Amino acid sequence: MEFKHPYLPITKEIESEMLSSFGKRSLEDLFSNIPEDYRLKRDLNIPTSRTELEVAQRVQELASKNKPADTGRVFLGAGAGIHYIPSVVPALATRSEFLTSYTSYQPEISQGMLQTLFEYQSMMAELLGIDVVNSSMYDMATGLAEAVLMAARVNKKRSKFLVPDTINPVHWQVINTFAEPAGITIERVGHDQKSMLLDLADLKSKLDSQVAGVYVENPSYLGFIEPQVDEINRIVHDAGSLLVVGVDVLSLGILRPPGNYGADIIVGEGQYLGSAVSYGGPYLGVFGCRDRMKIIRQLPGRLVGMTRTSNEPYKRGFVLTLVPREQHIRREKATSNICSNQALVAVTAAVYTSTLGPEGFRHLGEIIAHRSHYAAKQLNKISGVTAPAFGASFWKEFVVRFEGDASAQLVHESLLKRDLHGGKILTEEYPEFGESMLLCVTELHGKTAIDQLVEVVRDVVTKGGGTR
């Protein structure tokens, strides 16, 4: 009797039919192009079958070797954030009606999902101080890339885009990948050597009739806050360009929203809003713009709108107001190729944001500001350490520079021995900074962990830091 696999329902008859469909008689014929020398001549070293209990115990044994990142002992940021996630957030966001929902093509049966995304858009618009927010992009990097393309579509016949040279290196690579096929040139604007702030003289010299838009980060990738935003806004708009601002959404509990200082387009990373860091994703691109039809018509992604019946008693309904993708008959005129958007992560962000509320956002911003400044102050007391290395003011992240023989790699390795994970080493990306590290301090980092970090750095720097 022929053996039938319980999980692989392919019979010999089906296998034969599949092989004959492309002119093969056996599996041996199918793999005939693979030389004998490269074929495995033995059975795979696969363990024998185990019971569910045994498998669970083995997986738990392996998992116990990992050290969780949310214990407040990991000081790594640089575009991803480890923050506390209230238990109500995953409890609501992973309900089946959210978890199994797909794109809301049929609004009459998708009112719940559409309303949730409308609430997400509304809360993000309020936080950003901007008029319109779409229902999400893939992540901040591709959101910024879409902003570059959008600026060129709004400002037709302009094919240049300016970015600060302190931009997140990953974002730099992504926007160039998007811009090159579109014929858009990305140019860097320099910074002041002491403060690291955008060099306004260099900005003015590069702003011409070909610049479609200018990008600034506030807070920057290196953590410092840009105090020149009002002047940058004036310079950019006087040149007829669009101002694009990248922002850490969590900072807006205590910092001015970009819409208040003239941003035309705003991008941000929404992973911080209730989603865990998990092997590179999923992330969430927050994307907003001003209420100008010239700009809105070029908005990528989807826009959920609310309407109501014309007569009382009024009944409201939700619908995809803007659907600019290529599959909706737009073809080459599409303003976005985003397909399966980050709806579930946007729902998570909506639950997280509504859980915190305005006071919660302000309180969280204050806690992060206090703890990150405490860490920088204690590190800066160490002879041979400068923290923050740049910027008069910062929020959450800051650059630490090590002098003498202490290398950033040695500091990192010494921290690991104490079950602490340091920040991102900047030595390769920014060799001009010397031995440096980008530290991230959030609400998860208590005084004990921060003091232990400072102690390890002091030992490495002052007690024979070793060689590079």
d(C-alpha 463, C-alpha 135), whole Å: 53
Other C-beta atoms within 10 Å of 156: how many?
A: 8
Measure CA of the first residue to CA of the last residue in the chain; give whole Å.
68
Residues 383 and 288 in one domain: no
- With 60 as the cut, is the pLDDT of residue 468 above it? no
d(C-alpha 279, C-alpha 275), whole Å: 12
Average pLDDT over residues 37-44: 89
- With 90 as the cut, is the pLDDT of residue 229 above it? yes
In a domain, 78, yes or no: no
**How many residues in the chain?**
468
pLDDT of the residue at 233: 97
Q: Which of 324, 353, 382 is the last residue of a domain?
A: 353
Query: How would DSSP label each residue in 184-240?
Result: PEEEEE-B-TTT--B-HHHHHHH--TTEEEEEEESS-TTSB--TTHHHHHHHHHHTT
Average pLDDT over residues 130-134: 96
Q: Which residue has the higher pLDDT, 445 or 110?
A: 445
Classify burial at 408, counting beta carbons within 10 Å of its beta carbon; exposed 0-12, middle 13-18, buried 19 or more. Answer: buried
Give 411's Cβ-side CA count (13 Å radius): 32
Average pLDDT over residues 36-53: 90
Residues 152 and 139 in one domain: yes
Residues 343 and 369 in one domain: no
pLDDT of the residue at 325: 64
pLDDT of the residue at 150: 95
- With 70 as the cut, is the pLDDT of residue 45 above it? yes
pTM of the model as a whole: 0.86
What value, to the nearest 5°, has the Cα angle with vertex 193 and ends 370 and 467? Answer: 75
In a domain, 37, yes or no: no
pLDDT of the residue at 467: 40
Domain count, the chain: 2
Residues 97 and 156 in one domain: yes
Measuring CA to CA, how many Å separate 310 from each of 109, 152, 315, 317?
A: 21, 39, 9, 12
Instruction: Determine contact, residues 433/401, Cβ cutoff 8 Å.
Output: yes
pLDDT of the residue at 326: 56
pLDDT of the residue at 87: 95
Residues 412 and 321 in one domain: no
Average pLDDT over residues 325-343: 68
Average pLDDT over residues 182-201: 93
Q: Which residue has the higher pLDDT, 322 or 389?
A: 389
Residues 132 and 276 in one domain: yes
Instruction: Identify the residue whose tokens are 């008069």.
Output: 392
pLDDT of the residue at 1: 55
In the structure encoding, which two tokens stand for residue 161, read together? 């885009």
- With 90 as the cut, is the pLDDT of residue 248 above it? yes
pLDDT of the residue at 339: 66
Instruction: Identify the residue whose tokens are 């392919």.
Output: 10
d(C-alpha 239, C-alpha 76), whole Å: 38
Instruction: Determine contact, residues 81/442, Cβ cutoff 8 Å.
Output: yes
Residues 182 and 305 in one domain: yes
d(C-alpha 148, C-alpha 165), whole Å: 16
Binning pLDDT at 50, 70 and 90, where does residue 466 land? Answer: very low
In a domain, 61, yes or no: no
Q: Which residue has the higher pLDDT, 132 or 110?
A: 132
In a domain, 62, yes or no: no
Residues 340 and 396 in one domain: no
Q: Let me know how many helices (H) and strands (E) the chain has, helices first.
A: 14, 13
Binning pLDDT at 50, 70 and 90, where does residue 79 land? Answer: confident
pLDDT of the residue at 329: 63
Q: Which amino acid is at 363?
A: H
Q: Which of 303, 325, 353 is the last residue of a domain?
A: 353
pLDDT of the residue at 183: 94
In a domain, 23, yes or no: no
d(C-alpha 458, C-alpha 441), whole Å: 18
Average pLDDT over residues 58-64: 93
- With 90 as the cut, is the pLDDT of residue 99 above it? no
Dihedrals phi, psi of 442, to nearest 5 degrees:
-125, -170
In a domain, 249, yes or no: yes
Residues 194 and 266 in one domain: yes
pLDDT per residue as tens digits for the range 370-423? 999 999 999 999 999 999 998 779 999 999 999 888 899 999 999 999 999 999
Residues 262 and 409 in one domain: no
Binning pLDDT at 50, 70 and 90, where does residue 106 land? Answer: confident
In a domain, 74, yes or no: no
Binning pLDDT at 50, 70 and 90, where does residue 340 land? Answer: low
Task: Name, in order, each residue with C-beta under 8 angstroms of 252's C-beta and a sequence gap of 6 or more.
Answer: 127, 128, 361, 365
pLDDT of the residue at 96: 87
The alpha carbon dihedral of 259, 262, 265, 267 has a sign of: negative
Measuring CA to CA, how many Å separate 288 from each of 103, 256, 285, 323, 375?
A: 20, 16, 10, 15, 33
- With 80 as the cut, is the pLDDT of residue 465 above it? no
Q: What is the CATH number of the domain that holds 335?
A: 3.40.640.10
- With 50 as the cut, is the pLDDT of residue 285 above it? yes
Residues 316 and 408 in one domain: no
Average pLDDT over residues 292-310: 91
Is residue 88 classed as helix, strand or coil in its secondary structure?
Answer: helix
In a domain, 53, yes or no: no
Binning pLDDT at 50, 70 and 90, where does residue 211 land? Answer: very high
Average pLDDT over residues 345-356: 95
pLDDT of the residue at 122: 97
Omega before 358 cis (within 30°)?
no
pLDDT of the residue at 328: 64
* Best-predicted range by mean pLDDT (135-139, 404-408, 449-453): 449-453
Q: Is the backbone of residue 80 left (phi > 0), alpha (psi -120 to 50) or beta?
A: beta
pLDDT of the residue at 7: 77
Q: What is the CATH number of the domain that holds 409?
A: 3.90.1150.10
Find the helix or strand (DSSP H, E) in which 161 lies: strand 160-164
Is residue 360 classed as helix, strand or coil in its secondary structure?
Answer: helix
Residues 238 and 306 in one domain: yes
Structural domain range at position 409: 357-462
Q: Which of 291, 319, 353 is the last residue of a domain?
A: 353
Identify the CA nearest to 154 among candidates 204, 213, 74: 213
